[in-house]
Structure 1
Amino acid sequence: MIETRHNGLFSLRFERLTAVGLRHGVFSRLGGVSEGIYASLNLSRSTGDAAEPVRENRRRMFEALGTTPELSLTSWLTHSNRVRVIASGALRDKPHSDDTHADAMITRARGLALTLRFADCVPILLYDPARGVIGITHAGWLGIENGVLGETVRAMREAFDCAPQDVLAGIGPSIGPTRFEVGEDVAARIQAAVPEPVVLRHEGAPRPHVDLWRAAAAQLRASGVREIETAAVCTASDTARWFSHRAEKGRTGRFGVAVVLD
């Protein structure tokens, strides 16, 4: 991962995606104006933060990305496998219409920033340089169970004729395998949806842990994606830099991940 600093903001970029010229960023919680449990670059109002600091935080993030909030689209996350195909003219969509509820977005529209918000769930960026198509996916354990990554790759193939072997993937910061403790039922449900072993039994731990990074990578590989870069950054282990719903007991903000096709 490549560390980037811009006017107090700290972000990460994937080496492979950067090498092929894709504009993107995984923005930490540093460099914003929100206070208290939302300090400081909180990108979500759904957590209870006030509108004005979130608006300013969004402006700062998009400035660091070289664009503006007006040239961006997001979706309301539902922990599903729904993929939103973004066509030209999408900026005219009403922000609360039903078609904005999704956990993945794909597009080949140039100059349009796709962005989602995270606090332990797995962010995944996808790019097909051959077809000029980008994607962003939010994969919590329910999304993994529902096969959201396979659905995203399938949508790229069906909507834009992408070949999975041409797709480059980046798996961003999320809760890591040493911190994601779950019950036996949840562990079994996740494992049933993943073609590789992802349930861990740590010595002395009363319950199983799940490796969501490996789960995401396994589902991508099963869909035909070959080039996958994993940040291996645990949000729950570094709340000084990242928001973590689990580590901060639900009282926290959301960090932003964004990607733009030039």
Structure 2
Amino acid sequence: MNSKYIGNYILRNVNGVCVAQSPILSQFNELVHYVTTRRILNNTKNELDELNMSVSNEDFPRYFDFFAKCVNISPNKCVFSHQTHSKNVKVVTREDIGEPYWNRKLKEVDGLITNDKELFLVTTYADCMPIIAYDPMKRVVGVAHSGWRGTLLEIGKELVLKMNEEFGCNPEELFVTVGPSIGPESFEVGPDVAAEFFMKFGKDVLRKIDGNEKIHVDLWKAVEITLKSVGVVHLEFSNIDTYKHTEYFYSYRREKTKKRFAVIVGIV
């Protein structure tokens, strides 16, 4: 398995599929986590050209089966959520696995939590922020899909509070990483959205870039404010701007694409 860095994350070739991983989470051997990229390595004419993890794509089972085989996980142990930019967070068990496996039984849920072993949580992205939280003491993992709407709704806080409420997780003992997502130099907004962020988080999340008249919102800073407000201290950012790194990650804002990359997390 070869590896190199992009931003703060480690890029690895796992049996021909290129994935990104968090250094802060990689220290826990019992935690499986992958951030997929669009790249498939060591390709042959019989394999896929790139890895599109959009669940709504009609070829999704083919893509996911290929990925699952490369990383040696069972697709039939995966839970997929129906994301709607809400702040809804749900504790999931094996009962939430769909039939067929990619059926999204969980409607309007943007955050998933589990302490079940060998159960994998799958969320998908194209500029929105993946927030992964792990409690190594309680062996509980959670993941949230935080776009700009979810960031205003503070879904990161909801994830941490739900882990505390359901499993007694101490926020100070959580290890949290924020994965590849649109960065502060790329997220240009109109005055209405800028005003909402200013009212919620203050002026520190607003930026002017190189004399540009447009306002940019620093979603990473907004999530940092949210997570620290509930006591998170072990916090890492990938510092990977998906808008700038479309060679690895899909960006809806730059490409207007329906394709997605995925985060897969689970405890073994």
- Per the TM superposition, whether the score is higher than 0.5 is yes
Alpha-carbon deviation of 1:191? 3.2
The runs of 4+ residues in structure 1 deviating greater than 3 Å are: 92-97
Where do 1:50-65 residues align within 5 Å?
51-52=58-59, 54-65=60-71
Q: State the distance in 2 between where 1:64 and 1:158 align.
A: 36
Aligned to 2:250: 243
Q: State the distance in 1 between where 2:73 and 2:147 align.
A: 28
- Tell whether 2:205 aligns with 1:198: yes
More strand by share: 2
Aligned to 1:181: 188
Alpha-carbon deviation of 1:72? 0.3
- Tell whether 2:83 aligns with 1:73: no
Change (3 A) 1:204 1:196: closer
2:28 to 17, 20, 37: 20
Q: State the distance in 1 between where 2:22 and 2:140 align.
A: 17
Q: State the distance in 1 between where 2:152 and 2:49 align.
A: 32
Aligned to 2:54: 44
Q: State the distance in 2 between where 1:160 and 1:93 align.
A: 28
DSSP 3-state at the match of 1:237: coil
Alpha-carbon deviation of 1:6? 1.9
Alpha-carbon deviation of 1:189? 1.1
DSSP 3-state at the match of 2:262: strand
- Tell whether 2:27 aligns with 1:9: no
Aligned to 2:141: 134
Change (3 A) 1:226 1:92: same
Q: State the distance in 1 between where 2:196 and 2:248 align.
A: 31
Aligned residue type for 1:27: T
Structure 1: gaps (5+ residues): none
- Tell whether 2:132 aligns with 1:115: no
Q: State the distance in 2 between where 1:185 and 1:259 align.
A: 35
Change (3 A) 1:236 1:39: farther
Q: State the distance in 2 between where 1:135 and 1:154 align.
A: 11
Structure 2: gaps (5+ residues): 1-8
- Tell whether 2:240 aligns with 1:219: no
For residues 69-126 of structure 1, the C-alpha deviation after alignment (integer angstroms, 9 at most, x for no partner) is 11100101110100011135332689354x4321100010110010100000001111
Contact 2:54 2:258 in 1 (8 A): no
Root-mean-square deviation over aligned CA pairs: 2.1
Moved more, 88-97 or 20-29: 88-97
Moved more, 16-25 or 76-85: 16-25
1:90 to 93, 96, 105: 96
Alpha-carbon deviation of 1:214? 1.7
State the identity as a percent. 32
DSSP 3-state at the match of 1:67: coil
